[in-house]
Structure formats: structure tokens, C-alpha cells
């Protein structure tokens, strides 16, 4: 998989986090993620596409009206991409900033995402 395809995959991944229609989001996850794909960050581990879809819905419910954006360029090689993302109000300051490492499978679908949280709201 080329770096350009990984850029596209990361952009589609971010768009999936922003899809608020449950049916449309479920279809995006089904198209983008390997069936046995995993998502892990400090707060959650989701195993399988259905669990990933559940995490996306839960985050959208927790942060209504907020949007995810890439925080800069995607750095990629082989089947691995790393990138920073931001979550906040459209056009406003980021409430949360994170760093993800995405691993693609041989078919160009997401196999694993390892997420890190760099900025979170104080309690």
C-alpha cells in the first residue's frame, strides 16, 4: 500500500468518526475496517468492526456537535500511518488532541488503530 493510499485511509478514518447517522456510520465502518479490526486507546479497547462502530457512536454522544480533523500531515510507510487529530467545535479550538497509529491489512482496510491522548479536558 502506498503512502498516498494511507493518507486517504487516514482521511476516511477521520470522516467515519464524524458520521452521525448510525446506518451510514455502520456502513462506513464495514467498508473501512477489517472484520476483525481493533481500536485501542487509553480509555477503551474495541475488538471487531461492530465494537468499533459502538465506540464511535458513544464518542459522538459524549461530544455532540464536535468534529474530528487531522492535526497535520499523515506520516506513512509500508502498511503503517501515524497522525495527529483534534476534536472540537467546528472552526474552534480543539478540546481534545490525540495521536493515532493506524495499521492497514493486505486489502487496504484498517486492521488496528493504537490511539494516544495528548490533550484532554481537566476534570
Q: For strands 110-119 and 96-104, give the pairing.
A: antiparallel
Q: What is the 3-state composition of the chain as percent helix, strand, coil, each rounded to the nearest 5? A: 35, 40, 25
The per-residue pLDDT string of the chain (123 residues; one tens digit each, 9 = 90 and over) reads: 555 599 999 999 999 999 999 999 999 999 999 999 999 999 999 999 999 999 999 999 999 999 999 999 999 999 999 999 999 999 999 999 999 999 999 999 999 999 999 999 886
Residue 68: Cβ within 10 Å count: 22
- What pTM value is reported for the model? 0.93
Dihedral in degrees, nearest 10, Cα atoms 72, 76, 82, 86: 20
Q: Which CATH architecture has domain 3-119?
A: Roll (3.10)
Amino acid at each position: 500500500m502506498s503512502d498516498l493510499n494511507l493518507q486517504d485511509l487516514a482521511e476516511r478514518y477521520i470522516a467515519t468518526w464524524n458520521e452521525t447517522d448510525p446506518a451510514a456510520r455502520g456502513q462506513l465502518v464495514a467498508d473501512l475496517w477489517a472484520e476483525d479490526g481493533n481500536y485501542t486507546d487509553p480509555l477503551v479497547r474495541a475488538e471487531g468492526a461492530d465494537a468499533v462502530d459502538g465506540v464511535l457512536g458513544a464518542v459522538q454522544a459524549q461530544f455532540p456537535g464536535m468534529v474530528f480533523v487531522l492535526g497535520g500531515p499523515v506520516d506513512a510507510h509500508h502498511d503503517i500511518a501515524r497522525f495527529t487529530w483534534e476534536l472540537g467545535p467546528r472552526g474552534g479550538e480543539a478540546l481534545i488532541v490525540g495521536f493515532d497509529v493506524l495499521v492497514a491489512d493486505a486489502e487496504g482496510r484498517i486492521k488496528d488503530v493504537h490511539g494516544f491522548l495528548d490533550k484532554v479536558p481537566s476534570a
